[in-house]
Chains A and B, each alone.
Chain A
């Protein structure tokens, strides 16, 4: 562990490498987190199946490459397929738990996450999959820092998706209905908004967003049926740190998390990266709770 730290002193460019990789990775977390915040804010459901949506988007893109289609087309295709799946899951499952106790919806989406994991495992098997984009690598600082071009494309793609979503929520009628429902579902219903449809659309849009993110993940990194949960937990952490409905905050928290995780993996060893993510989750929750308690404290 200390040897790894020593490396930073010996080769300072390594710092830039790790930081850059982390930030590029973090942009994808941000996009999944924004979808989670949307569902949480509008429907009051914490969507544990978030990470599996991302993985499914990745596998769909992988399947396209098997058929000889360039993975970039995977972005719209995965988004479209996931949108349909999201709507289907809403009407089949989520709709029945949306107004129940939050733990019920938590458990229901957890069940969905196990279901999707196992389905993906049955269809594509338990191997780690990637989709070759055919893009090259940039070398900086005398070949000491390397950047996969596809990672930059993925990062940019994630940010563009975020922008599209923002514009959609601000400008379109459906987007306005979603925002109205988020503020006050009952008032929205009184004003004639069909909140059931709004919920379905919200859930579908979130799934589509995750699907597109998954296409970026499979191109720039890799997918596997069982690594969805870390994406869910990352999204959750980002939402807790940034708050609901705060896109700049979500992006910043996403990039920060990506960087922190990459440094942790480098220093502790890659086998502890996932453990770090989950421990960080617990730490963030404990800190958040302590801060809230402090606020409530009686007379200083």
Chain B
């Protein structure tokens, strides 16, 4: 299996606080890779560094063999790496269908391309993906009127609309009704298997991540603590210590 995302010695400081300290890890092509760690261990910071939200203080990041350390969010998005947020970000005063239509990146984002009417193909794909996320019947509602969990699903569907090759999901199950979580896990697995999209997932819910991911990285205090299969992680003394606060 080739490594799609390779992070080498990435560090990030905010003022005097070290959020990430020379973290090296990789995400194999086509895998579901998890990232866990106690609150404040630097997971979201690492995501932000990867997608180009802020500059990093050291180290390098490559995506599909391409150096992306200095690229910014939009450029990285166009390369096919998309992230979703803990707090959803959708376009609240637009309908779900419109949210999907604007996420379609097939024709590019040049002015001329945008001035063409929305194609039937875009519409079909939007409907199919909304259906996949269980939002088909709500496709004409304003996105802002959906529940929080539905908004998260919509954001997920929008990310799929861009045809990403890798999705970075920041706590996909946080704030979602527990009865919906199984459905979400199922969808994540199908996206990975059917569409071949690599998933890199931050998750607090241990049950979810242990069932979902093939390999897991654990951060603590801004450092990479352990990497391995769910079983390795489950039995790793250092991970248990970090979670039980025995430091």
Q: List chain A positions with a Cβ less than 8 A from chain B.
A: 298-299
Residues of A within 8 A of B69 (CB): 299
Is B164 an interface residue, CB under 8 A from the partner?
no
Q: List chain B positions with a Cβ less than 8 A from chain A.
A: 52, 54-56, 69-72
B59 to chain A, nearest CB (A): 12
* Closest 5 pairs between A and B when the two form their complex, measured CB to CB: A299-B55, A298-B72, A299-B70, A298-B55, A298-B70
Docked complex Cα distance between A33 and B71 (Å): 41
Chain A residue with Cβ nearest B73: A298
Docked complex Cα distance between A298 and B72 (Å): 7
B8 to chain A, nearest CB (A): 16
Docked complex Cα distance between A299 and B55 (Å): 5
10 A-B pairs (CB sep. < 8 Å): A298-B52, A298-B54, A298-B55, A298-B70, A298-B71, A298-B72, A299-B55, A299-B56, A299-B69, A299-B70
Docked complex Cα distance between A299 and B72 (Å): 10
Residues of B within 8 A of A299 (CB): 55-56, 69-70
Residues of B within 8 A of A298 (CB): 52, 54-55, 70-72
* Chain A interface mostly: loop
Supplied contacts A298-B52, A298-B54, A298-B71, 7 more A-B pairs, CB within 8 Å: A298-B55, A298-B70, A298-B72, A299-B55, A299-B56, A299-B69, A299-B70
Docked complex Cα distance between A299 and B61 (Å): 14
Docked complex Cα distance between A298 and B48 (Å): 12
B112 to chain A, nearest CB (A): 27
Chain A residue with Cβ nearest B72: A298
Chain A residue with Cβ nearest B52: A298
B78 to chain A, nearest CB (A): 15
Docked complex Cα distance between A298 and B52 (Å): 8
Residues of A within 8 A of B52 (CB): 298
Residues of A within 8 A of B72 (CB): 298
Residues of A within 8 A of B70 (CB): 298-299
B74 to chain A, nearest CB (A): 11
Docked complex Cα distance between A298 and B53 (Å): 8
B99 to chain A, nearest CB (A): 21
Docked complex Cα distance between A298 and B71 (Å): 8
A100 to chain B, nearest CB (A): 16
Chain B residue with Cβ nearest A299: B55
Docked complex Cα distance between A298 and B55 (Å): 5
Chain B residue with Cβ nearest A296: B54
Docked complex Cα distance between A299 and B57 (Å): 9
Docked complex Cα distance between A299 and B70 (Å): 7
Chain B residue with Cβ nearest A297: B55
A294 to chain B, nearest CB (A): 13
Docked complex Cα distance between A265 and B52 (Å): 48
Docked complex Cα distance between A299 and B52 (Å): 10
B11 to chain A, nearest CB (A): 13
A49 to chain B, nearest CB (A): 30
Docked complex Cα distance between A298 and B69 (Å): 10
Docked complex Cα distance between A145 and B69 (Å): 62
Docked complex Cα distance between A298 and B56 (Å): 9
Docked complex Cα distance between A298 and B70 (Å): 7
Docked complex Cα distance between A299 and B53 (Å): 11
